[in-house]
Amino acid sequence: MSGTETAPSGPNEARVTIVRGPLVGAVLGRVVGMLAARAQCPIDKLDDALLITDAVSAHAPRFSTDDRVRVVVRTGGGALDIIVGPLADGGTEGLVADATLPGVGNVLERVADEVDRSRGEDGEQLRVRVSFAAT
Amino acid sequence: MGTTADDPGEAPGRNVAPKSVIPDLELVLPARPENVAVVRHALGGFGDAFDVPDQALADIKLAVTEACTNVVVHAYPDGEGPLGVNAWMEDDRLTVVVHDEGRGMLPRPDSPGLGLGLPLIATLAESLELGTGADDRTEVRMTFLLSDAEAAA
């Protein structure tokens, strides 16, 4: 590969750790936007991904296990995954519940194609998927 | 603000990392050309959140782009590996560390570049350190003094 080649090159993944506070939304939105764009995510789905990112940025800090928010942003196979965690006990349910807007409903569950909760050694983990593969 | 942590494992022979700081931002991506732009945008968000003056932020992004490009071009000649960027604010200084797990900084007679990257970084940053950091990773550590930029704005 040449140093100037810019075509997308398969699955991509960014691991982001951000101190709680205004930095979370400011950085995470840009990372998600860039990876989604590089994965040729259509504009309506990019908008969905950024809505999810805003919800995660606003509420995940309250449930993180320390003063950092850890997010993995993964693209590939016609989908974008936003994986948040480790979260404290009850964090996945709390994060999903907090993403409810009056008159709109739950942003994560309405916008995402998949919302998975899992538990690892370090704590709970929430995976939110936006799919955009051509059908 | 970056958090200073206890660092019982600090190695006296280490070239970089005089003390251990938990960065405000840690970003790790595959070392690919397209991901240099991701780093630039992430730093843009960092600058916005900390109200870094526009001119200073432009210089910071340029310097960090050069460091990241060096990783993409030189660090993994036989494949792909991680490109890491840590950033933190401390008083009126922004420190950015670009790191990789590649082959280290070696002379490369066949280098495709012009050799201007590191001198450019040295010009833009208040300080520049090259060496080996934690876990034997190759690091480029840049510190930018923001108070000068604020006074000039």
Provide the domain count of chain A: 1
Main-chain phi, psi angles of A46, to 5 degrees: -60, -40
Q: A19 contacts in B (CB within 8 Å)?
A: 1, 3, 23-25
What pLDDT does B16 receive? 53
Q: Is residue A70 a contact partner of residue A84, using CB atoms and an 8 Å limit? A: yes
Q: List the domain range (segments joined by +) for residue A52.
A: 13-131
Q: Is residue A80 a contact partner of residue A49, using CB atoms and an 8 Å limit? A: yes
What pLDDT does B1 receive? 61
- Residue A7 within a domain: no
A1 vs B: CB within 8 A: yes
Report ipTM for this prediction: 0.88
Q: A53 contacts in B (CB within 8 Å)?
A: none
Residues whose CB falls within 8 Å of the CB of residue A35, separated by 6 or more in sequence, listed in order: A12, A14, A73, A75, A80, B38
CA angle A82, A88, A92 (to 5 degrees): 45
What pLDDT does A105 receive? 87
Q: Is A40 helix (H, G, I), strand (E, B) or coil?
A: coil
CA closest to B87 among chain A residues: A18
A110 vs B: CB within 8 A: no
What pLDDT does A47 receive? 94
User: What whole-number distance in Å separates Cα of residue A74 and Cα of residue A125?
Assistant: 14
Q: What is the mean pLDDT of chain A?
A: 90
CA closest to A11 among chain B residues: B30
Amino acid in position A71:
V
More confident residue, B91 or A86: A86
Beta strands in chain B (DSSP E): 3-4, 21-22, 25-30, 82-90, 93-100, 127-132, 138-145
First and final C-alpha spacing in chain B: 23
Distance from CA of A72 to the nearest CA of B (A): 9
User: What whole-number distance in Å separates Cα of residue B9 and Cα of residue B11?
Assistant: 6
CA closest to B74 among chain A residues: A3
Which of A83, A75, A71, A80 has the alpha carbon at shortest distance from A23?
Answer: A71
Task: Tell me: pLDDT of B14 over 70.
Answer: no
A17 vs B: CB within 8 A: yes
Instruction: Identify the residue among B1, B4, B22, B25 best suited for mutation to test binding to A, counting A beta carbons within 10 A and taking the highest.
Output: B25
What pLDDT does B8 receive? 41
pLDDT band for position B140 (cuts 50, 70, 90): very high
CA angle B123, B39, B69 (to 5 degrees): 55
The reply to whether residue A14 touches residue B27, judged by beta carbons under 8 angstroms, is yes
A16 vs B: CB within 8 A: yes
Amino acid in position B147:
S
Residues whose CB falls within 8 Å of the CB of residue B153, separated by 6 or more in sequence, listed in order: B53, B54, B55
Q: Is residue B133 a contact partner of residue B99, using CB atoms and an 8 Å limit? A: yes
User: What whole-number distance in Å separates Cα of residue B18 and Cα of residue A61?
Assistant: 30
User: Which residue has tokens 């950015």?
Assistant: B96
Main-chain phi, psi angles of A100, to 5 degrees: -95, 130
Q: What is the CATH number of the domain that holds A38?
A: 3.30.565.10
- Residue A100 within a domain: yes
- Residue A123 within a domain: yes
Task: Tell me: pLDDT of B110 over 80.
Answer: no
- Residue A84 within a domain: yes
- Kindly list the domain boundaries of chain B, sorted by start residue: 24-105+119-152
- Residue A1 within a domain: no
In CATH, what class is B24-105+119-152?
A: alpha beta
The reply to whether residue B42 touches residue A12, judged by beta carbons under 8 angstroms, is no
Q: Can you give B60-98 as a three-state secondary structure string?
A: HHHHHHHHHHHHHHHHCCCCCCEEEEEEEEECCEEEEEE
- Residue A3 within a domain: no
pLDDT tens profile A32-72? 999 999 999 999 999 999 999 999 999 999 999 999 999 99
pLDDT tens profile B18-63? 557 889 999 999 999 999 999 999 999 999 999 999 999 999 999 9
User: What whole-number distance in Å separates Cα of residue B61 and Cα of residue B144?
Assistant: 11
Instruction: Identify the residue among A1, A6, A18 best suited for mutation to test binding to B, counting B beta carbons within 10 A and taking the highest.
Output: A18
The reply to whether residue A27 touches residue B42, judged by beta carbons under 8 angstroms, is yes
Which of A3, A22, A28 has its CB closest to that of B33?
A3
The reply to whether residue B33 touches residue A4, judged by beta carbons under 8 angstroms, is yes
